[in-house]
Structure 1
Amino acid sequence: MNGLDQVLRDWIANHGTLAEETLRLLIAAVAGGLVGLERELRGRQAGFRTNLLVCLGSALVMIVSTHLADGPWMQGPGFQITVDPGRIAYGVMTGVGFLGAGAILKNRGDVRGLTTAAALWCVAAIGLSAGLGLYSLSFVSALLVLLALWALDVLENLLPRRATRVITIRTRWSAGCVRELVDFIQTQNVKVFGVTFRRPDSEHVDISADIAFTRSHRYYELERKFQEDPRYDLVALERS
């Protein structure tokens, strides 16, 4: 990678400052585009264009901040005011954090978009790196992000993961109705590790069960089972 840096710097030396800054923007666009392409292929909202623009914009801000830091903006006898480019980079990362928060969705207890939000944050950091002229570091970082998004996803899917929920069911009161419900849940390969119940009226009972299951048994599958069974009314299904 040091050879790549030297080749690029030799080319820049022959073409001036504008060429150097253009190269930084192009590298940022390529790095962000590669990460964005992976997100696009997975059908994520923050895909190719979003990641490319975030990385490109971060590089541009970093380039501008280095120009701002070249000299004092105000000076006088015994003092001078300068611009700290690190503060501008900090502002970029904070702003992208808010953008990433917009990519996170919560639907029926299931949180999605955390990986996309993290990828956006990494892409912004790559853009700042490219804006500083750290070409090799930018490319290596982009490759590592792609490795985390693509290759490690295969490994993650092989690992067993446990999720927990609290499910509340309403059914008609009868002797043994709680035991019957627990048995019904366990037939779906879902573990029950806690049960409480209350009587809303003389004919019904609301049973709340703390359940745990692996990722292969999504909670909405259990919800569908209850909806299909006329004995039960699903009251709530939420995170524990």
Structure 2
Amino acid sequence: MNNPWVIDNGSILLRLLLAMLLGGLIGFERERSNHAAGLRTHILVCLGSTLIMLLSIYGFSDFVDEINVRIDPARLATAVITGIGFLGAGTILFTGKSITGLTTAASIWVVGAVGLAVGAGFYFASIVSTILILLNLVVFNKLEQRYIRGSKLHLITIHSANTPNILEEISAVLEEQECVIRKLVVNERSNTVYGELQPAVLGLEITMQVLTDRKFEPMTITRQLRGIGQVTMVTAE
């Protein structure tokens, strides 16, 4: 290719297919891990970034020889990075106990960068980057979970009768599971059966954020808390 401002249709097809493949590999890992942005989202982001980069470099080749026109191949790439930032922000969620989706947001952003690299013809850089991204998402994730697992917050909600020792009994169960209570909210709630004329029975709604270093087992903690006589409902996440 002698003219740097001209590209043939075969090269365009190659770059778009490569973008689809590389974006799909990263998206497949996110889809398999059941994240908000999965296979199709990552493919579309990578394809779109590649197409915009192709347009930015080759789409205005007819104006290269114009005296008053200045061609900047990177002008549209900057807009792609900004736009993907808004898309990634949509995958970040605050669940009340922690922030999730940061890794998926980062994967969308870096897939956009891979697409730009493919569109610019940086095949080696884009392929190596994809391998390193998958290494980070798959291998490093397992190493982090196994060896670098830190303390994590979990949310527990309990409905129970309003008895004097209920908080002490709940605390004893959590101490046995090596959970540290970081936040505790206790509200009164009334239990009224629909259609009954009997007065409402006052109970408690106990919401806790607990911190634990060990692996959190919702089934085990729920079973033990339900074993307390006055507890009627437990949710753990």
Matched, 1:33 2:24: yes
**1:126-185 C-alpha deviation (Å, 9 max, x unpaired):** 0001111111111111111110111112201102221135656555342x5543332122
Is the 8 Å Cα contact of residues 186 and 205 (structure 2) preserved in structure 1? yes
- Number of residue equivalences: 220
Q: Does the C-alpha gap of structure 1 residues 199 and 98 become closer, same or farther in structure 2, counting only changes over 3 Å? A: closer
The TM-score with structure 2 as length reference comes to 0.70
CA distance in 2, matches of 1:199, 1:31: 54
What percentage of residue pairs aligned between the two structures are identical? 33
Q: Does 1:96 align with 2:84?
A: yes
Q: Please, what is the CA RMSD of the aligned residues?
A: 3.9
Counterparts of 1:30-179 in structure 2, within 5 Å, are 30-44=21-35, 46-67=37-58, 80=68, 82=70, 84-104=72-92, 109=97, 112-158=100-146, 159-165=148-154, 171-174=161-164, 177-179=166-168
Q: In structure 2, list runs of 5 or more residues that go unmatched.
A: 191-201
Unmatched 5+ stretches in structure 1: 1-11
Q: Distance in 1 between matches of 2:225 and 2:181?
A: 15
1:6 — aligned with what?
none
TM-score, normalised with respect to structure 1: 0.69
After superposition, the C-alpha distances for 1:49-100 in whole angstroms (9 at most, x for unaligned) are 3322221211110010113565769x88xxx454644342122123223333
Deviation larger for 225-234 or 129-138: 225-234
Q: Which moved more, 1:140-149 or 1:223-232?
A: 223-232
Q: State the match for 2:7 in structure 1.
A: 17
Following superposition, the deviation at residue 212 of structure 1 comes to: 1.1
3-state SS, counterpart of residue 74 of structure 2: helix
